[in-house]
Amino acid sequence: MQITFKNNIKDLPKETLFISVGAKNQDEVIKEGGIKTLYLKCDEAEKMNLRKLYLLVRKMVLVAKGAKADKIALNFKDFKFSNIKLTDIELGEIIGSQLDFANYEFVEYKTPPKEGFCFIKEIFILNATKETEKAILKGNIIAGEVNKTRSLSNMPGGDMTPSILAQKAKVAMKGLPVKVTVLGEKEMEKQKMLAITSVGQGSDEESKFIIMEYNGGSKKEKPIVLVGKGVTFDTGGINLKPSNSLLGMNMDMSGGAAVIHTIALAAKMKLKKNIIGLIPSVENMASGKSYRPGDVIRSMSGQTIEVLNTDAEGRVILADALTYAQKYNPEVVIDVATLTGAAMVALGERASAIFTDDDDLAKKVEKVGEITGDYVWRLPMWEEYENEIKGSIGDFTNVHNKDSRYGGAIYGAIFLHQFIKGHKWVHIDMAPRMVAMAGENLALGATGSPVRLLYKFIEEYK
């Protein structure tokens, strides 16, 4: 999508669809005086809020695509609502990101129709200042990396193995000052990362540990470490998932995809920060070589994990990744994972669950989530919960030790906390935001969450 800035509606090409916001009681396309105008319905100004603003920008793109337009124009001033407290620069970044965000659709496996796929190819924006123009273009770059994240997550499991994910990470960093290192199973075994290799041993595909290092800050500056779950397909292992739960498990590497493109984005924007990305990547498959319920695994930390359910594999591989993260003496560690269906039970599909024992850190993440549209909600992580993951023959169980169906998202977070205690840390259970839901004005499939949140957090972190 190309973004062009104009001063006057008269400067627009004749085939451009001009969009006027809030002028009619319904969405309507009218041709007046040789100009085709889409009148886009929205709430009264006093009812508008930031969440509705995101939806409005996306809706504009979807309605225009429905009208078969490939060139559209909008007036920047139409999106300034007095009760939404945003600077023009903040508004510009939102508009720039949401335009391309809504224009995206995963069509790689579809046969193109004769007329081609319907995408907006060019957008003309009127009445934007030079500073606002920069913000809009910045938002467009952010959306580009979010959409690449979505494409990675949407790839079928047969075309997205741990080796392919590692290769995609290298491709994403091509031409950028980011060092990419990939450890295979032998290298991980030498590092005693047996939690990762144990989960992946049931697959014919070799497990990988992807390391990305971007040093944009000073040498003395402690890095922010991002850890992303990279399960490229999750059958549940010996605790096999039911058939209707297997569809979509190609997306169980969405946390890893988000980490890859957050670091690529930070490098493209030349952030003056040091950032490390770590992705443990495996296939969790059921075979004669699979790890078993009842197995006890000694993790890289030296602590043992008593496996009560092989379908709680994400937290097992993240345990080694969180231990590895401590090698960097990090300023803060954020892990991102499609960890539990329990997070969806708790929150629905509109926000990711976050966990941390640091109140200030939680507030920062919550604030950034509201600003970027990657919404989050904090759940408790009290010490008392640790009683329910104490093992009988190992140190910790990977699920509730009484086989309870309650509080699954919390126990996943409590388990992870055992491997990162003493460090600033946030766990983002993004399972609720893995795929778009009806009414979000987005294409079906992956949302690319929480790339926008991670990038803004890093950009503003002090």
Structural domain ending residue among the three candidates 147, 164, 198? 147
> What b-and-e string marks burial along 391-421, b requiring 16 or more CB atoms within 10 Å of the CB?
beebbbbbbbbeeeeebbbbbbbbbbbbbbe
What pLDDT does 52 receive?
A: 94
Q: Which residues contact 388 (CB under 8 A, 6 or more apart)?
A: 400, 401, 402, 404, 407, 411, 414
27: pLDDT strictly greater than 80: no
**For the ranges 31-40, 65-74, 93-102, which has the lowest average pLDDT?**
31-40
The DSSP H or E segment spanning 319 is helix 314-325
Does residue 81 sit in the same domain as residue 211?
no
What pLDDT does 211 receive?
A: 99
Omega of the bond leading into 450 within 30 degrees of 0 (cis): yes
Read off the CATH number of the domain in which 92 is found.
Answer: 3.40.220.10
CA distance 186 to 281: 14
Does residue 166 sit in the same domain as residue 72?
no
Active site residue 350: no
Q: Which residues contact 359 (CB under 8 A, 6 or more apart)?
A: none
How confident is the model over 337-378, as pLDDT tens digits? 999 999 999 999 999 999 999 999 999 999 999 999 999 999
88: pLDDT strictly greater than 70: yes
Does residue 89 sit in the same domain as residue 197?
no
Active site residue 80: no
Tell me if the pTM is above 0.95.
Answer: yes
Read off the CATH number of the domain in which 316 is found.
Answer: 3.40.630.10
How confident is the model over 284-334, as pLDDT tens digits? 999 999 999 999 999 999 999 999 999 999 999 999 999 999 999 999 999
Please report the DSSP string for 225-289 in residue order: EEEE-EEEEE--TTSPPPHHHHTTGGGGGHHHHHHHHHHHHHHHTT-SSEEEEEEEEEEE--STT
How confident is the model over 404-448, as pLDDT tens digits? 999 999 999 999 999 999 999 999 999 999 999 999 999 999 999
What pLDDT does 23 receive?
A: 55
pLDDT confidence band for 32 (50 / 70 / 90) = low
What pLDDT does 34 receive?
A: 64
Does residue 251 sit in the same domain as residue 378?
yes
Does residue 85 sit in the same domain as residue 171?
no
Chain centre to alpha carbon of residue 426: 15
Does residue 159 sit in the same domain as residue 87?
no
24: pLDDT strictly greater than 70: no
What pLDDT does 317 receive?
A: 99
How confident is the model over 446-462, as pLDDT tens digits? 999 999 999 999 999 99
How confident is the model over 206-247, as pLDDT tens digits? 999 999 999 999 999 999 999 999 999 999 999 999 999 999
Work out whether strand 296-298 and strand 304-306 pair parallel, antiparallel, or are unpaired. Answer: antiparallel
CA distance 273 to 289: 42
How confident is the model over 36-85, as pLDDT tens digits? 888 888 877 788 999 999 999 999 999 999 989 999 999 999 999 989 99
CA distance 189 to 186: 5
How confident is the model over 168-187, as pLDDT tens digits? 999 999 999 999 999 999 99
Does residue 222 sit in the same domain as residue 83?
no
Catalytic residue among 148, 168, 315, 456: 315
What pLDDT does 110 receive?
A: 97
What pLDDT does 37 receive?
A: 86
Range of the domain at 124: 2-147
Does residue 223 sit in the same domain as residue 327?
yes
Q: Are 229 and 255 in contact (CB under 8 A)?
A: yes
When divided into structural domains, the chain yields a total of: 2
Does residue 118 sit in the same domain as residue 209?
no
Catalytic residue among 6, 24, 52, 241: 241
Structural domain ending residue among the three candidates 147, 167, 202? 147
